[in-house]
Amino acid sequence: MPHHTSITAVPVSDEKAGPYGVAAGPDGAMWFTTVHEGAVGRLGLDGEITSYALPDGDGGPTVITPGPDGALWFTEYKGNRVGRITVDGEITAYERPGAGPYGIAAGPDGAMWFTEMHTDRIGRISPEGDLTEFTVPVEGGFPSAIAAGPDGRRLWFTLNQGNAIASIDLSGEVRVYPLPTEAAGPVGLAAGPDGAMWFVEIMAGQVGRIDAAGTITEFSLPDRAARPHALAAGADGAMWFTEWGANRIGRITVDGSQIDAYDIPSGSSEPHGIALGPDGVLWTALESGALGRIEAR
């Protein structure tokens, strides 16, 4: 357990811009989306901030992640697009009319996989830009976050309104695992260092774990109204998550025996995305206009 955890807010945008997703780039910088401004930003190692405006300022860029091609990939939920941005700021967009793309992750096959919340589908974009879609067998399930599994054969995703966790293999076969808690509202999801997938339940105030066989374990947070939103594996072997409704960052050991929470010094920060930086430090996107640097010692 860390003896001390400090959270420092680094302003990166206007407070109305709404930093939402955050990811470590191949250039050593932290990249982020500003959901209300319609831009992708970069926080360099030297502290320099660069913002790249998207063609559609109302597209609502949300989740961002590094791709296997040395670029960053992101979704535009309102604009119905999947975007790609190079470290030099060159932007390419792939239109997905009516899809509502949200989560996006690099798959073990070298392609980018993403969720389509409005169509109950999982999409795949090849390195050449070819698109394939796979239907999720849960109508109105609202597929949300997605992440590659540790076995190199499947990706996992949350069904926010379907109240389930699901996996999809590289051929498109989907398996659905209902949650024990009703109306839990799963959102964020990430691979853990223990070989399992971890997720958060925003409506139930819980953190969950699902192993390769589909066995689910749920851990209740001390504050069930914290509204956990996203999570990531830390360099310390634990899972870290944002508490969007409580202005805190949480930490849970992989055996579930220890859950801690750390207040964000600036009030009403609305922490959303969280990601591990190249230096082993965690970063979170604060919708109040900053990236939060989380240092655990």
Residue 274 forms beta bridges with which residues? 284
Q: Which residues of 198-209 are buried (b: 16+ CB within 10 A; e: fewer)?
A: bbbbbbbbbbbb
Q: Give the chain's length.
A: 297
Q: How many whole angstroms separate alpha carbon 183 and alpha carbon 164?
A: 10
d(CA 166, CA 60): 25
Task: Say if CB 223 and CB 197 are below 8 A apart.
Answer: no
3-state SS, residue 117: coil
Question: Among all chains, which residue has been given the structure tokens 């960053």?
Answer: 72
Catalytic residue among 36, 118, 229, 272: 272
Half-sphere exposure of residue 189: CA atoms within 13 angstroms, side-chain side: 31
Strands 101-106 and 112-116: antiparallel
The answer to whether residue 4 is catalytic is no
Q: What single-letter amino acid sits at 223? A: D
Cα 239 to Cα 43: distance, rounded to the nearest angstrom: 24
Q: Are 126 and 133 in contact (CB under 8 A)?
A: no
Task: Assess contact for 218 and 208: CB atoms under 8 A.
Answer: yes
CB atoms within 10 A of CB 110: 11
In angstroms, the CA 141 to CA 71 distance is 30
Active site positions, annotated = 272
